[in-house]
Amino acid sequence: MAGHDRKTRVALNGYGVIGKRVADAVACQDDMELVGIADIATDWRLRTAAQKGFKLFASLESSIDAMCKAGFDIAGTLDTLLGGADIVVDCTPKRIGAKNAELYHKRDVKFILQGGEKHEVTGHSFVAEASYAGALGRQSTRVVSCNTTSVVRTLTALKHAGLLHRARGTLLRRATDPWESHKGGIMNTLVPEDEIPSHQGPDAQSVDPELDVVTMAVMVPETLAHLHYWAVQLTRKASKEEVIDAFRSSPRIGLIRMSDGLTAINTVKELMADIGRPRDNLYEVALWEDLVTVQGDEAFYAYMVDNQAIVIPETIDAIRALTGREKNANASIAKTNAALGIGAPFAR
């Protein structure tokens, strides 16, 4: 904590799929303190937060009564919470974050939005390995969506190796989050996204405008994770080993092998459960090393994206970048990775 006499005080707004994972990740950083959680929920979801000892606040004045009636000890409103925070991580549902940004500006507090919001709301989009330096000292940034994060991580690895010319990817998107599969899932169908490119390609360019990337997406009837297939035009003829080495150089890409029995997305999730990752979180892009195929100057590969977990380490790094607590991207990435055990289960 050189140069800082106390921990960064982090507030969280929206304790859902992403928010609860961010809260746990903040709580295990030695340079951060989770000062409270704001939400509007009145059911079991917030009760688990209370049981963990997190201080609870009401995101909306209009929710206070219902939250108190539900038995929660509410310490105040979001406004009160912001008063004691250096930065707020907004993990509310799509488009609510953009509305909340007005309040954060008014309160002059630093803030992070998630990938459901547009780039324009913050004017900066974040993936640690690609745009950390640009976030230093800013008031706000947007951690891009799960699929977009994976696209930027993998293409940045190829770019850093001098191998990336242009990339075209097909994304098989999980239909809904597991805990909501009784509400919003699809069954016995495949649903193509209604435009090409799907949003992830342009979103990746909001992080790195140099990327020549097009994405197409289809929703599939499962809830475990997303699966990507990529065809990449390289800058030159290369060997399979060069392409694999490029991916290996990223601290947040985990190489897995079909030949090791990791033949499907459920087996990879089982591995995460077996090694004791909280909520079976797979923070890394899990890329099949033995599927990587290179023909002349073209590379083909596939990987898995745990939509619920991949943006969590990015959010932790974004906190250090905005607050200026750590100026060096690699140092922040290494610190976050160590705290969350990222990289350990994968062969380097």
Ligand X SMILES: O=C(OP(=O)(O)O)[C@H](O)COP(=O)(O)O
Ligand Y SMILES: NC(=O)C1=CN([C@@H]2O[C@H](COP(=O)(O)OP(=O)(O)OC[C@H]3O[C@@H](n4cnc5c(N)ncnc54)[C@H](OP(=O)(O)O)[C@@H]3O)[C@@H](O)[C@H]2O)C=CC1
Helical H runs in the chain?
Answer: 17-27, 44-51, 64-69, 78-83, 96-106, 119-122, 128-135, 146-160, 181-184, 200-207, 240-248, 265-274, 311-323, 329-340
DSSP state letter for 258: G
x/- site string to ligand Y, residues 175 to 214, per CB under 6 A? Answer: --x-------------------------------------
Alpha carbon distance 172, 222 (integer Å): 10
Token pair for residue 138?
């800013």
CB of 56 to ligand X, least distance (A): 25
How crowded is residue 24: how many other Cβ atoms within 10 Å of its Cβ?
A: 17
CB of 135 to ligand Y, least distance (A): 17
Residue 171 touches ligand Y, criterion: CB under 6 A: no
Alpha carbon distance 312, 9 (integer Å): 17
Residue 18 touches ligand Y, criterion: CB under 6 A: yes
Pick one of ligand X, ligand Y, none as the site partner of residue 173 (Cβ within 5 to 8 A by kind): ligand X
Stretch of 11-19, 190-198, 247-255, 287-295 lying at the interface with ligand Y (CB under 6 A):
11-19
**Segment holding 2, helix H or strand E:** none
Q: Interface residues for ligand X in 141-200 (CB under 6 A)?
A: 145-148, 173, 200
Query: What end-to-end distance do the CA atoms of the chain give, in Å?
Result: 29
CB of 207 to ligand X, least distance (A): 13
In the bound state with ligand Y, the residue whose beta carbon lies nearer, of 112 and 322, is 112
CB of 246 to ligand X, least distance (A): 23
Residue 115 touches ligand X, criterion: CB under 6 A: yes
Q: Which residues pair with 120 in a beta bridge?
A: none
Alpha carbon distance 74, 84 (integer Å): 15
Alpha carbon distance 130, 155 (integer Å): 10
Active site residues: 146
Among 250, 308, 323, 332, binds ligand Y (CB under 6 A): 308
In the bound state with ligand X, the residue whose beta carbon lies nearer, of 37 and 146, is 146
In the bound state with ligand X, the residue whose beta carbon lies nearer, of 145 and 205, is 145
Residue 121 touches ligand Y, criterion: CB under 6 A: no
x/- site string to ligand X, residues 199 to 228, per CB under 6 A? Answer: -x----------------------------
In the bound state with ligand X, the residue whose beta carbon lies nearer, of 101 and 204, is 204
CB of 70 to ligand X, least distance (A): 26
Burial 171-189 (b: 16+ CB within 10 A, else e): bbbbbbbeeebeeebeeee
Number of chain residues interacting with ligand X (CB under 6 A):
8
Q: Among candidates 37, 19, 42, which has minimal Cα distance to 93?
A: 19
Alpha carbon distance 67, 36 (integer Å): 15
Give the largest Cα separation in the chain, rounded.
66
Pick one of ligand X, ligand Y, none as the site partner of residue 41 (Cβ within 5 to 8 A by kind): ligand Y
CB of 253 to ligand Y, least distance (A): 18
Q: Which residues bind ligand X (CB under 6 A)?
A: 115, 145-148, 173, 200, 307
Q: Which residues bind ligand Y (CB under 6 A)?
A: 13-19, 38-41, 45, 59-60, 91-94, 96-97, 114-117, 145-146, 177, 307-308, 311
